Structure 1
Amino acid sequence: MDDIPLAVLFGLLIALLLISAFFSGSETALMTLNRYRLQTRARNGERPARYARRMLRRPDRLIGTILLGNTFSNNLAAAIVAMITTRMFTNSTAVLVTTALMTLVMLIVSEVTPKTLAALHPERVAMPASYVFWFLRLPLFPFVWAVNLVSNGMLRMVGVTPEDAAQHSLSSEELRTVVLEAGAMIPQRHQRMLLSILDLEKATVEDIMVPRNEIVGIDITDDREHIREAVIGSQHTRLPVFDGSIDHLKGVLHLRRAVKLAADDKLDTESLLALASEPYFVPEGTPLNQQLLNFQNQKRRVGFVVDEYGDIQGLITLEDILEEVVGEFTSDPATRIKNVYADPDGSYRVSGSVTVRSLNRNLNWRLPTKGPKTINGLVLEQLEALPQTGASVSIDGYTLEITDARANVIKSARIWPPTPGSKTRARAAA
């Protein structure tokens, strides 16, 4: 080796440093690739993406190939550095200084710089590199197989298998982070819809149902003219039919079937019950995402929420769940504002039947949603007594004053949301 010119040795050293830089950068790029974007590009027919996806299914083999090439080039480069320094310098101090400088050069050129570049632009580095590793995998397979045999055996001793790396499932919170970090790639309205879909599993049918005392329906004990006016003048498509009270539910009437009979004054109790379909009941506590699937499977659009005793607690519709995803799309503007009124002093007048979830959703508030579902229930839980007009409570910085209480029920209340810094001061004072 002493007869090899220094120029050749320097040329080999530079080439080995570049080879080492290629392996180092490729490792970082392939390991930091966005797996979901990679799958999309592979499905679109991009060959390098298909190669990279196949190799990443067994990262132990890919890493073995990369480290085999990287280790070989680094060791050979170190040997050439030693040869150059011993031939150029005889002083031991000079040899040590030169070796230290060459180590620094190798660290910068072959490790830090290529890995930083690959971390910043993983696809630009990984796609061309995938061709190289795709063809290197065959000639280097015996060596890689031997190395992986030992390393995988050690991993199994601690309960890790290479097949685990192929699983990249995301939790709902991780999906939420992906949507939020997508930025301009997903329009803001679409982001809200995607986040609303993820939130469906956190809410139950009680959060959005129409309470039983607000259910509008047809009472077959009413006179014929009253029933006729209810059918013709209703703003709803479907109405429950009951005998005396909602507890004696007979069915659900699709008004399209009855409106012609009502217009011709031919609608009586018998024909009304004949046109009504069987009611569909929903157990309380059912998550909204599950109920959406139940509506689809049962080919239903209206359900009655029942408690553990079978008593009807409210009514939920397919439209209610869809509005949780896409927002309000009702054609009746009054239904959006009839229960909440903003006053100039910054307070809000609300009905006691308004749900806490709807206030949080529409006004961007943070009232507690675990426990009572309505303002009436929330205030009663805090009071721990029968409501009286004029009584007030403070909940998480929100001040709620009862403005109308009748028959042990809060009919209306006034809410003052917290001002900036008020909650922080309250905690500090406590």
Structure 2
Amino acid sequence: MITEVLIVVVLIVVNGVLALSELAIVSARPARLKPLEGKSRGAAAALRLGENPGRFLSTVQIGITLVGVLSGAFSGATLGNRLAQFLASKGVDADWASTLGVGSVVVLITYVSLIVGELVPKQLALRNPEGLAIRMAPAMVVLSKVAAPVVWFLDRSGRLVLWLMGQREDNSNRVTEEEVHTILSEAHEGGVIETEERAMISGVMRFSDRSAKALMTPRRDVEMIDLEMTSAEAVAALRRIGRPRIPVQNRETGEVVGIIRLADAFVAVSKREALDVKALLQDVPVVSDRTDALDVLDILKKSDDSVALVYDEYGHFEGLITSGDVLEAITGAMDTGDDEEPAMITRDDGSMLVAGWMAADEFCDRLGLSRDLAGDYDTVAGLVLHQMRRLPGLGESFTVAGHRFEVIDLDGLRIDKVLVSAV
């Protein structure tokens, strides 16, 4: 009887090893295994098994099925009968002895199988999937080679059933943006990354989805000087504007023809020379308002002045992009250069006073709203226009996604301030 018990225990342990290997290799993250691929045979084997999950899962399932069949045979036919004979020898009715003997053994073996053969191994696999995958992968590779014919047949059969169900084969390991945000949240809650780091990573992800139009400082906020200004007029304008690089506009055509560097102007003035705007004019790259943000970043890197002019498809000047605009897009800057106008203020009653120029994607991320609320618009003002389908009047409001939006300030035809409160 001791031999039969030992056989059942070994089978349960083997089932636990197979269950542990299955969950560990499936749960292991390739990003953590790839750096170890050249140093560890186990890591390389785990990556190979993960690349072909159908064959691996078929191998494990064959082993678990065989273990289950053998465990059932030994527990019912051998240990159950022995216990039934023992109970009968103690005076228990033969029918009751058979029922109690087999039933008791089956219940006990099932309980031990669940604990030792399933639950505990899977808990261990979830706690350290990469480490256990590295240890168990070589043995699973050997097992898959031994059972190759059966595994091939089962793998093809499974693919056929999936094909009949309309599930076409797709081995690509895709990670969605929502999953990345979930991982960032878990890392933040676990103390792995700081709040500022999480906000910056989210800003980088938002940045890649933006266009030049969403990054630029719009034309109405760009201060320029005229190409035909006299020396005195140019000096006065430069003092008033006070920015390192200032666009220069042709007064007659309205076209922005380049920029003038404040440092170059200072050198000329310090030498008591007349300030010639045309002589100091510098060419800068021009981008379309629909250019992707990453392409804009590449253009700014190659530009000596880290400035680009934005034009629309009709050839009209739309705005200006600088390296500072890129930094603000990533870090979520709270103002546009005016310290008295933050992008968002949370009031005592929980409502939020939001500037119309605030980026719509940043606003939606902070409130956990869908970015589709803004449609093709890039700002909170655009979000309001998209939802109302018209230019709103002062005090008009609407409710969407559990929040109430009220226009509380208009600057001419521009939506300047919006009050947002949870419903």
Q: TM-score, normalised by structure 1?
A: 0.76
Q: 1:197: Cα distance to partner?
A: 1.2
Task: Please say if 1:72 is aligned against 2:72.
Answer: no
Whichever residue aligns with residue 74 of structure 2, its letter is I
CA distance in 1 between partners of 2:391 and 2:317 (Å): 25
Aligned-pair distance for 1:216?
1.3
Cα gap change, 1:72 to 1:253, in 2 (>3 Å):
same
1:370 alignment partner in structure 2: 375
The C-alpha deviation readout for 1:190-214, integer Å capped at 9, x for no partner, is 1111111111244333334222122
Which position in structure 1 is the counterpart of 2:81?
86
Structure 2 partner of 1:258? 265
- Residue 116 of structure 1, aligned match among 101, 107, 119: 119
CA distance in 1, matches of 2:208, 2:343: 26
Judging changes above 3 Å, is the alpha-carbon distance between structure 1 residues 104 and 290 closer, same or farther for their aligned structure 2 residues?
Answer: farther
Secondary structure of 1:107's aligned partner: helix
1:146 to 2:149 alignment: yes
8 A contact 1:340–1:348 mirrored in 2: no
Q: Distance in 2 between matches of 1:132 and 1:83?
A: 32
Q: Which residue of 2 aligns with 1:401?
A: 408
The code of the aligned residue for 1:226 comes to E
Cα distance between partner residues in 1 of 2:65 and 2:324: 62
Q: Work out whether residues 359 and 365 of structure 1, in 8 Å CA contact, stay in contact via their aligned partners in 2.
A: no
Q: Which amino acid aligns with 1:169?
A: R
| Match of residue 180 from structure 2 | 175
Partner of 1:427: none
Q: 1:105 aligns with which of 108, 112, 115?
A: 108
Gaps spanning 5+ residues in structure 1: where?
1-5, 424-430
1:99-138 Cα shifts (integer Å, max 9, x gaps): 3433333333224554333443325477357545514633
8 Å CA contact 2:238, 2:262 repeated in 1: yes
Pick closer, same or farther for the CA change 1:246–1:361 going to 2, 3 Å: farther
CA distance in 2, matches of 1:118, 1:186: 30
Q: Is the 8 A contact 1:48 1:131 kept in 2?
A: yes
Residue of structure 2 equivalent to 1:335: 338
**Separation in structure 2 between the aligned mates of residue 329 and residue 417 of structure 1, nearest angstrom:** 17
Could you tell me which residue of structure 1 aligns to residue 138 of structure 2? 134
Letter in 2 for 1:360: F
Shift in alpha-carbon separation, 1:225–1:345, aligned structure 2, 3 A: farther
Give 1:29's match in structure 2, choosing from 24, 31, 35: 24
Secondary structure of 1:36's counterpart equals helix
Residues 355/56 of structure 1: CA separation in 2 closer, same or farther (3 Å cut): closer
Show the counterpart of 2:2. 7
State how far apart, in whole Å, the 2-side matches of 1:355 and 1:246 are: 31
In structure 1, C-alpha distance between the alignment counterparts of 2:159 and 2:368, rounded to whole Å: 50
Instruction: State how far apart, in whole Å, the 2-side matches of 1:164 and 1:312 are.
Output: 46
Q: Could you tell me the TM-score, scaled by structure 2's length?
A: 0.77
Aligned to 1:310: 315
Residue identity matched to 2:64 = N
Native 8 Å contact 1:211 1:314 kept in 2? yes
1:360 aligns with 2:388: no
| 2:374 and 2:384 in contact (8 A); partners too | no
**Secondary structure in 1 aligned to 2:175?**
coil
Query: Quick one: distance in 1 between partners of 2:408 and 2:168?
Result: 61
Paired amino acid for 1:198: M
The Cα shift of 1:364 comes to 5.9
Distance 1:282 1:273 in 2: 23
Comparing 153-162 with 170-179, greater Cα deviation is found at: 153-162
Letter of the structure 1 residue corresponding to residue 217 of structure 2: V
Cα distance change of structure 1 residues 280 and 17 upon mapping to structure 2, 3 Å threshold: same
Establish whether residue 284 from structure 1 lines up as the match of residue 278 from structure 2. Answer: no
Structure-2 separation of matches of 1:386 and 1:59: 55
Secondary structure of 2:339's match? helix
Residue in structure 2 matched with residue 273 of structure 1 by the alignment: 278
What SS does the corresponding residue of 1:250 show, helix, strand or coil? strand
Q: Is the 8 A contact 2:398 2:405 kept in 1?
A: yes
Task: Report the 3-state secondary structure (helix = DSSP H, G, I; strand = E; otherwise coil) of the residue aligned with 2:290.
Answer: coil
Partner of 2:88: none
Distance 1:229 1:361, change over 3 A: farther
Letter in 2 for 1:58: N
Aligned partners of 1:37 and 1:341: how far apart in 2?
Answer: 39
- Structure 1 counterpart of 2:124, one-letter code: H
Q: Rate the CA distance shift 1:375–1:326 in 2: closer, same or farther, 3 A.
A: closer
Amino-acid identity (%): 19
Are 1:248 and 2:255 counterparts?
yes
Aligned length: 400
For residues 315-326 of structure 1, the aligned pairs below 5 Å read 315-326=320-331
- Give the gaps of 5 or more residues in structure 2: 86-93
CA distance in 2, matches of 1:175, 1:363: 16
- Structure 1 residue identity aligned to 2:141: R
